[in-house]
């Protein structure tokens, strides 16, 4: 007699709250919405990918996150990664740079170059990208609160080296609303922060139309406690807030939407993640077409980097993170990303070594050269399970966005701290589930090794001399500036801010005069003030 007869089937619910059936058929696809929203690759609604041939024509860009110490150190790491086959750069900045502080500011003491590269002036950009061809290697700047300044420095550096910024490609993270929700490297209050994002979009639309001034980051919201459906839905709410700002200035959606990009996370159930991205592509296309009236298909593309997965890595049994990273890369490839980056296996406890960064790079290269991930477009399409789950994820995202709208919109929820409190509560719940074992985590609450780990881990050392060299370099920049040109430029920034004008032209002048990140930030703070976080319990 079959002992399984009469026993209840275990209930399975994914992180987004969707119950998973033990078997899917064509009827499930039809009940969930059918295949009307699938389409063809390269055609609306782009569920199957934004390009007709996807990776058959060109594999994804490999863009490992890197940056530490001073610009000299980071330049060396950049060149190492490029020599090993990396096809794009993803720049990490230190905490003082991200929060608009110069390296000699008392608040920056002990943090300069500790995690991320220190940048004070245009001179640092010139050093960091020395010898790197900016036409062959596109650069992503992972900075938010001081993004307008860093974008200006990057463009000014490129111009000084003879590049035409009208054809320059690259990306800046520059998603300040997710900083209020997740990471915390804000500088200014919510409203002027959104204005600064709008200033960069407007400026780039006119002067650097191939540059992507904003990469909206569901990634960090997910790392902060959101489930996969919320990650996408909140990111779309944020993108709409930025779009509304620049449309209010008189720009047409087709003038800028094609250069908006996204940064999404990877860790979790393979099928939920793939369905998340397929659903998100179709939903974003629908939003841009129907809500904003876009006519250019490229405005409707969900252009994304799908990478990281840092929230899924563990300090325990760190070598297991190598396998996790391989599966995250698989998810990214199956999801139709344009750019891929992986957190290295040691990133749960330190800055990656060259060795661990190379393993992550080789993982992505294996998928391209050995595993057949570039052979055909959207290989999971047509699966009863995947198509049903894609429909359900899209429906769930739409419901979450409707809830946000009903509560006054994402900007108001950020301003009064409601969204931050919600995400924090969910993060606490997940932590409790991991502690209790309700949420399985190999090496943490499953298959633990109780005795001391016999494998040594290499920690990235903090070099105080790097900080001293950076501060000395900053002093040389200040002392070598001609007259008070920088001071005149800073006054122009303040005047533009006071008048409510786009401050990017004035910031461009200031960085070309070697005004520093801290000086420009302080000029803006005089007008905008500093953000005070609302605390909710």
The pLDDT tens digits of the residues spanning 356-379 come to: 999 999 999 999 999 999 999 999
Q: What is the mean pLDDT of residues 497-508?
A: 98
Same domain, 401 and 484: no
436, 452, 476 — which closes off a domain? 436
Same domain, 74 and 184: yes
| 310-322 burial: b if 16+ Cβ within 10 Å, else e | bbbbbebebebbb
SS3 181: helix
Assess if residue 368 is contained within a domain: yes
Assess if residue 1 is contained within a domain: no
Same domain, 416 and 495: no
- What pLDDT sits at residue 183? 85
Same domain, 218 and 95: yes
**Chain-centre distance for alpha carbon 7:** 45
Assess if residue 151 is contained within a domain: yes
Assess if residue 47 is contained within a domain: no
Q: What does DSSP assign to residue 263?
A: E
C-beta atoms surrounding 432 within 10 Å: 11
Same domain, 493 and 428: no
pLDDT at 457 over 70: no
Do 32 and 392 form a contact (C-beta atoms < 8 A)? yes
The DSSP-derived string for 86-152 is --EEEEEB-HHHHTT--TTSGGGTTTTTTSSB---SHHHHHHHTTT--TTTSEEEEE--TTHHHHHH
pLDDT band (50, 70, 90) for residue 455: low
Same domain, 424 and 476: no
Same domain, 349 and 489: no
Assess if residue 481 is contained within a domain: yes
- What pLDDT sits at residue 535? 72
Query: Which of 201, 88, 203 has its CA nearest to residue 156?
Result: 203
| CATH for 23 | 3.20.20.240
Assess if residue 404 is contained within a domain: yes
Same domain, 376 and 501: no
Same domain, 480 and 406: no
- What pLDDT sits at residue 288? 98
Same domain, 104 and 158: yes
pLDDT band (50, 70, 90) for residue 1: very low
Peptide bond into 45 cis (omega under 30): yes
Phi and psi of 204, rounded to 5°? -70, -35
pLDDT at 3 over 60: no
Same domain, 403 and 471: no
- What pLDDT sits at residue 461? 72
Total domain count, the chain? 2
Computed over its alpha carbons, how large is the radius of gyration of the chain? 23
**What confidence tens digit (pLDDT) does each residue in 422-433 have?**
999 999 999 999
Cα distances (Å, whole numbers) of residue 423 to 167, 212, 235, 311, 420: 39, 28, 13, 14, 5
Percent pLDDT > 90 in the chain is 85
- What pLDDT sits at residue 454? 56
Assess if residue 335 is contained within a domain: yes
Q: What is the mean pLDDT of residues 302-320?
A: 90
Same domain, 23 and 168: yes
Query: Which of 56, 64, 75, 247 has its CA nearest to residue 142?
Result: 64
Assess if residue 29 is contained within a domain: yes
Q: Which of 170-179, 219-228, 342-351, 450-459 has the lowest mean pLDDT?
A: 450-459
Residue 67 belongs to domain spanning: 19-34+55-436
419, 436, 453 — which closes off a domain? 436
Q: Across the chain, what does the average pLDDT equal?
A: 93
């Amino acid at each position: 007699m079959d002992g399984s007869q009469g026993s209840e089937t275990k209930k399975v619910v994914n992180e987004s709250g969707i119950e998973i059936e033990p078997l899917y058929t064509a009827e499930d696809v039809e009940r969930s919405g059918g295949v009307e929203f699938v389409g063809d690759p390269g055609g609306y609604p782009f569920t199957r990918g934004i390009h007709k041939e996807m990776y058959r024509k060109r594999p994804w860009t490999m863009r490992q996150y890197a940056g530490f110490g001073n610009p000299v150190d980071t330049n060396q790491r950049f060149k190492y990664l490029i020599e090993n086959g990396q096809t794009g750069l993803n720049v990490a900045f230190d905490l003082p740079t991200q929060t608009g502080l110069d390296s000699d500011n008392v608040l920056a003491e002990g943090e300069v170059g500790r995690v991320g590269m220190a940048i004070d002036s245009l001179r640092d950009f010139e050093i960091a990208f020395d010898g790197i061809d900016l036409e062959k290697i596109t650069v992503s700047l992972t900075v938010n609160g001081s993004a307008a300044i860093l974008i200006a420095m990057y463009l000014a550096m490129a111009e000084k080296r003879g590049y035409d910024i009208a054809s320059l490609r690259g990306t800046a993270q520059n998603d300040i609303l997710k900083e209020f929700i997740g990471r915390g490297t804000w500088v200014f209050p919510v409203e002027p922060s959104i204005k600064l994002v709008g200033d960069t979009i407007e400026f780039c639309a006119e002067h650097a139309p191939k540059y992507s001034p904003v990469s909206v980051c569901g990634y960090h919201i997910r790392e902060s406690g959101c489930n996969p459906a919320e990650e996408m839905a909140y990111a779309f709410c944020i993108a709409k807030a930025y779009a509304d700002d620049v449309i209010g200035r008189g720009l047409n959606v087709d003038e800028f939407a094609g250069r908006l990009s996204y940064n999404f996370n990877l860790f979790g159930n393979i099928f939920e993640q793939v369905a998340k991205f397929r659903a998100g592509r179709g939903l974003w296309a629908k939003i841009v077409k129907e809500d904003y009236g876009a006519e250019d298909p490229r405005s409707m593309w969900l252009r994304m980097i799908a990478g990281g997965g840092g929230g899924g890595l563990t300090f325990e049994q760190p070598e297991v993170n190598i396998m996790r990273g391989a599966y995250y890369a698989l998810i990214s490839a199956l999801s139709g990303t344009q750019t891929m980056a992986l957190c290295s296996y040691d990133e749960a406890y330190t800055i990656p070594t060259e060795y661990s960064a190379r393993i992550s790079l080789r993982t992505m290269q294996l998928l391209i050269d050995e595993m057949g991930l570039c052979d055909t477009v959207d290989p999971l399409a047509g699966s009863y399970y995947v198509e049903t789950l894609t429909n359900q994820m899209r429906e769930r995202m739409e419901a979450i966005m409707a809830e946000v709208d009903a509560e006054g919109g994402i900007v108001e929820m950020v301003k009064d701290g409601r969204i931050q409190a919600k995400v924090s509560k969910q993060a606490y719940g997940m932590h409790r589930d991991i502690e209790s074992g309700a949420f399985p985590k190999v090496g943490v609450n499953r298959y633990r090794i109780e005795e001391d780990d016999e494998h040594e881990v290499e920690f990235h050392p903090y070099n105080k001399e790097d900080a001293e060299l950076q501060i000395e370099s900053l002093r040389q920049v200040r002392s070598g500036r001609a007259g008070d040109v920088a001071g005149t430029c800073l006054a122009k920034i303040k005047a533009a801010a006071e008048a409510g004008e786009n401050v990017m032209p004035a910031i461009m002048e200031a960085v070309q005069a070697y005004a520093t990140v801290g000086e420009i930030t302080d000029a803006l703070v005089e007008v905008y003030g500093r953000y005070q976080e609302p605390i909710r319990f």
